[in-house]
Structure 1
């Protein structure tokens, strides 16, 4: 409210669009700053994790700007998913790629030149084809969005040669802003994105790469299939992805799952496009619980309710691993990433990444594979390792990985770290890991003697430790952010600011004691028992209603031919199951329910909620001035308890935003609590939500409309100046004044 009133008009429009089309009250961290930068007409680079809300960063500017946003996207499936989701939200969008016939493409082109589209998705091949750039000169283009921008760099893990030609956009459209977006890009890839797209002094927005809702686990590679079956048996409702190294493994694992009665399918590049399309569609539609795939599957897949991702084999680099696990938990709910690891995987992958490639690329691939191996063998917080790889520091251990839950023994390793850091510093930061260890151990091989490293002060300073110990400790230092690897300088170690602090004695460093890998134990029955206990809440009223809502969503999605998450996300259904909205006001207060979705689906979901607790749809459910119906008895106690806690915080002087943060609830849930409490006659500080002048303006607007105007009518009449919560609270306030 106060934040909205003081925002620039264009940002007010952006926030109103977020609520109207997406059903959310506030932008996620950094989204607002990115959108404001884009709307100012400036080039922008956005690095944000999968599920962090990258699409909103260009979709909202497209909605509130004149003209059409051209989105360059590498995969047909990605375009189809995003366009379907946009249309479901009431936003005019289309895509042109090889799957679109000429007649349909002509219709879409006319819509674009006529100004009827807000977003047009195209593949890079289509964009660069004969005549298409010329066609775009006839379109009023608001901005270009380059999705999956890491594909532009040969340093990246998913290089696409056609992306390197996208620099032509700046030549043909010198004044049109460009936004490049990616979920994963290391330092060198970021540099390539900026230079190859010819961006004009772009601001780089680097969001936190932390996905705290994903539980990171590494499991031994023995008896993998039984471990997989055990996990799925304990999570029978949860969709998941299993990534395999080879096509044959995909098919074998898929067949074993099917034999156990699991709805599974496989996906790899050896299948026909029709076969791949059918498998992907079945997974998106929730007709398959599990998809077993090579890395050919998944880039840009928008399925928000993937609850787990498994890597049956070791990925070839951390960028790919990070992007693949990011397909779990896009809705923010708890999710799991499991990596099966054995040293045999390393040997197999090393052969793959060095075969038939230039020497420089083979070296780079090997170095990145070694970082992946270090992650799998880590003795410290896995999330710290991931974030340090992307130049982000986590100040404390995450508490949501297997290492944090079962930590190894530590000791003060500051002196060991200082020896290694000093050796790197005295060798002028020109040595790679193996050479550094040789220097510390006092080896007299050719590389040491040629470089003159036997003459530096720290030569032989670590001769008391064997090679494997040093290998472990140097990798811990790398994972803790004391070094980074300069791949373009022969994989030399460079000391970070944190490393200099340790070297100068300003920061102590705990290290984990080196322990050689032992033979892993097979899964035990205790694991099954613990997991079953953790899922004991399945029989609660909320869980039962959630399951019913999910089945209704599936039925609607099948009818309309769209993936279920396009109707509503799991997170939205979970909030419905908890809050049980039974009228228009309540349903619009649920995060993820915008105006278009309410109009399309709202009545069906309200009817189901009412049927679940008894009663009938109120005849005045569309009237914002009607008294709210009491909640169903089945949910009364938990809702009441939660509502009381919210009111107590309000009485302490906290704003709805403060309460939301303090209680870990969605802002819309807090506002629903406040509205329900005020409707029941509890005393709240109404002027925290709207001033006397604002209340008078809302009341006057109602009088001008006459009768009992709907929430939407009033919202539009006031030109979206006030949000729905303010309008609802003002309605109740005016009723009290009239003694109703």
Structure 2
């Protein structure tokens, strides 16, 4: 499934004749002259009636992969989405582009529901967003049987898999869509899925012979930083001092903590508010709208906030507490910098949080789910302890290699000292081998440190040559070392077999004394990172003062129309305007993100501002 072509894609989409309706629609409706990497093959396959599986990171242009074919194929595209907020945000953005889109969900009144159904039956909708439980009701399936369906897109497709980080039982019935609509192309799309989750999605939905695109998980514009958690609110304040008047999200584990942090930030003069599932619906809606409209800078939230929010100018994401898994961490940090401009992700890493998260996981009554989630938590801890390039570790978790260190994380910008770990690594690898490659990290550490307990004696492992050879080092030292050996490919964890450790071929030269291994020295505190090179926009350096004036004009227009500023133009589009300084409508139309509908609605205002800068 790796790569941009994938299963069954060779020769599937011959070069189109000129003029190309897909490129014309891309330009006129969405305001883009070219596809982003990976988009074109997906769009052409789906437009040609093929099933597709798409794994593309947040901000990579995943939604356009089904929205564009929806506009060029006959009929209405049905988009399955798990949250009302997610549906509403995408529908509002499409409507600003002049696209006939609507969402059908339980929060609608009777009159509005009837109106949307009438538009659907009248063939007036290009796209209809619907929740899975509403879609699969007998009445709605019968309605769909009466209309032309252009395609069915399942967004957030990782929700269908028990291996996914956000499994939702209501998604389990979606495979029956193939039986109900055998001739309709099916698209499964997700931003976050490890290899096991990907296989599960494809198998459950029956996506045989599908065009498959697995994009790079790399978000090079995001700087990843991890610091040891110590006086966390002071750490947060120091970080926020570097981001005045910028949009950001702070994630915390509990509802109570979100309110405490938000209260302290407000007392410090910052525009902040809490967000969690226990707040009244009206207050949550008000907070979300204020954030989207740039009337609120910081939302302090539980994971209940952010899914499906397309706000592209979030400049930072802070994890005040440890996330449960790397999928959640990746998805939540991915809410920063969707516009491609420089952004930051800060994790406050504390060992006390590990026990807290583990306790939450173990409250489940599903032993299989507990096993899977504990494995994922261990990988999250390994990332927090990582002293090499963090991006390498993060991408490696999703099965993607990085040839060179990224140069844009705390450990690359401020490299830690290293030590010769060869001898300790050989001890650890030998112990994994001696215990038969049948045990996980915790047990191997017990044997290395010479634990004298019932389990060790029952296995007779106190007789092994590796029993107790690591007694001079702490459990944390050996756990960290084993996780680093996993990250570097010397060991692998068999997630489907209770996370037991197994040697890889890469371990052989190290065990035989044919190579040495250097690892970073664990450090208690990360120094202040050096500032990166001058930030640049999508087309190079731009006039920062003009950019701020364009932002002010955008806010004025958005407030007048009652929409979020990014639905007028994104920061990336404004940055390109500030770099190019177009003076005519035709020149403005050449800016990425400026389509015909937006030119007609907003062009005159921005040309007036740009004219003053010439």
Q: CA RMSD in A?
A: 3.0
Looking at structure 2, the residues matched to 298 and 9 of structure 1 have their Cα atoms a distance apart, in angstroms, of 41
Does the 8 Å CA contact 1:11/1:36 hold for their aligned counterparts?
no
Q: Which residue of 2 aligns with 1:112?
A: 120
Of residues 477, 484, 487 in structure 2, which corresponds to 1:476? 484
Stretch deviating more after TM superposition (164-173 or 541-550): 541-550
- C-alpha distance 487-535 of structure 1, shift in aligned 2 (>3 A): closer
Equivalent residues in 2 for 1:707-718, closer than 5 Å: none
CA distance in 1, matches of 2:536, 2:163: 47
Structure 2 partner of 1:430? 438
TM-aligned CA deviation for residue 441 of structure 1 = 5.8
CA separation of 1:21/1:196 partners in 2, compared to 1, >3 Å: closer, same or farther?
same
Cα offset, 1:495, TM superposition:
4.5
C-alpha separation between the residues in 1 aligned to 2:505 and 2:46?
32
Q: Provide the residue aligned with 1:652 in structure 2.
A: none
Cα gap change, 1:506 to 1:73, in 2 (>3 Å): farther
Distance 1:508 1:36 in 2: 49
What's the CA shift string for 1:125-177, capped at 9, x where partnerless? 21123400110111211211111111112222222111111112112112212
Matched, 1:294 2:302: yes
Deviation at 1:284, TM superposition (A): 0.5
Which residue does the alignment assign to 2:49?
41
For the residue of structure 2 that corresponds to 1:240, the secondary structure is strand
Which of 20, 37, 42 in structure 2 is aligned with 1:12?
Answer: 20
Pair 1:412–1:281, CA change in 2 (3 A): same
Q: Quick check: 1:486 aligned with 2:489?
A: no
Q: CA deviation at 1:581?
A: 0.4
Equivalent residue in structure 2 for 1:75, among 83, 96, 119: 83
Q: What SS does the aligned partner of 1:54 have? A: coil
Structure 1 residues 438, 228: closer, same or farther in 2, change over 3 A? Answer: closer
Trace 1:323-722 onto structure 2 (pairs within 5 A). 323-411=331-419, 413=421, 416-417=424-425, 420-421=428-429, 424=432, 429-438=437-446, 446-448=454-456, 450=458, 459=466, 463=470, 466-468=473-475, 469-495=477-503, 509-513=517-521, 515=522, 518=524, 520=525, 542-611=543-612, 613=613, 632=614
Contact 2:32 2:592 in 1 (8 A): yes
1:195 aligned onto 2:203 = yes
Asked if 1 retains the 8 angstrom alpha-carbon contact of 2:312 and 2:339, the reply is: yes
Cα distance, 1:532–1:237 mapped onto 2, change above 3 Å: farther
Q: Per-residue CA shift, 1:223-267, capped at 9, x if unaligned?
A: 222232233233222100011111111111111111222111111
User: Match for residue 6 of structure 2?
Assistant: none
CA contact (8 A) 2:290 2:296 kept: yes
**Can you list the C-alpha shifts for 1:491-532, whole angstroms capped at 9, x where unaligned?**
11244565567668897643224x4x64x59x9xx88xx879
Counterpart of 2:93 (choices 76, 80, 85) is 85
Distance 1:473 1:81, change over 3 A: same
1:172 is matched with: 180
8 Å CA contact 1:149, 1:193 repeated in 2: yes
2:245 is paired with a residue whose SS is coil
Partner Cα separation in structure 1 for residue 360 and residue 14 of structure 2 = 57
CA distance in 1, matches of 2:73, 2:514: 51
> Match of 2:216?
208
* Separation in 1, partners of 2:18, 2:76: 17
Please tell me whether the aligned partners of residues 68 and 143 of structure 1 are also in contact (alpha carbons under 8 angstroms).
yes
- The farther-off stretch of 570-579 and 6-15 is 6-15
Residue in 1 aligned with 2:7? none
Would you say the 8 A contact 2:70–2:76 is kept in 1? yes
Tell me the number of residue pairs that the alignment of Structure 1 and Structure 2 aligns.
Answer: 598
Equivalent in the alignment of 1:266: 274
User: Contact (CA 8 Å) 1:435, 1:447: kept in 2 or not?
Assistant: no
The offset of 1:322, in angstroms, is 0.8
**1:50: which partner in 2?**
58
Question: Unaligned stretches of 5+ in structure 2?
Answer: 1-12
Q: Deviations over 1:390-434 (max 9, x none)?
A: 111112211111111222223454565455446546656432112
Q: Larger relative contact order (C-alpha < 8 A, sep ≥ 6)? A: 2
- Residues 410 and 239 (structure 1), Cα distance of their counterparts in 2 relative to 1, 3 Å cut: same
Indicate the SS of the match to 2:63: helix
Give, in whole Å, the separation in 2 of the partners of 1:186 and 1:208: 12
Alpha carbons of 1:433 and 1:275: their partners in 2 closer, same or farther (altered >3 Å)? Answer: same
Contact 1:234 1:532 in 2 (8 A): no
Asked if 2 retains the 8 angstrom alpha-carbon contact of 1:170 and 1:199, the reply is no
The question of 1:131 aligning with 2:139 is answered yes
Unaligned runs of 5+ in 1: 614-631, 633-740
Q: TM-score, normalised by structure 2?
A: 0.90
Query: What CA distance in whole angstroms lies between the structure 2 residues aligned with 1:58 and 1:240?
Result: 29
2:572 and 2:506 map into 1 onto residues whose CA distance is 38
Correspondence for 2:248 among 240, 244, 249: 240
User: Conserved in 1, the CA contact under 8 Å of 2:224 and 2:409?
Assistant: yes
More helix by share: 1
Cα 1:443–1:541 shift into 2, 3 Å? closer
2:289 is matched with which residue? 281
The 3-state SS of whatever aligns with 2:273 is strand
TM-score (norm 1): 0.75
Could you tell me how far apart the structure 1 residues matched to 2:503 and 2:47 are? 38
- Rate the CA distance shift 1:507–1:173 in 2: closer, same or farther, 3 A: farther
Report the Cα distance in structure 2 between the residues aligned to 1:596 and 1:123, rounded to whole angstroms. Answer: 29
Q: Is the 8 A contact 2:461 2:467 kept in 1?
A: no
Q: Which moved more, 1:297-306 or 1:396-405?
A: 396-405
Which deviations, in whole Å up to 9, do the C-alpha atoms of 1:71-128 show, x marking residues without a partner?
Answer: 0011111111111111222222111112322222222223223322221111112112
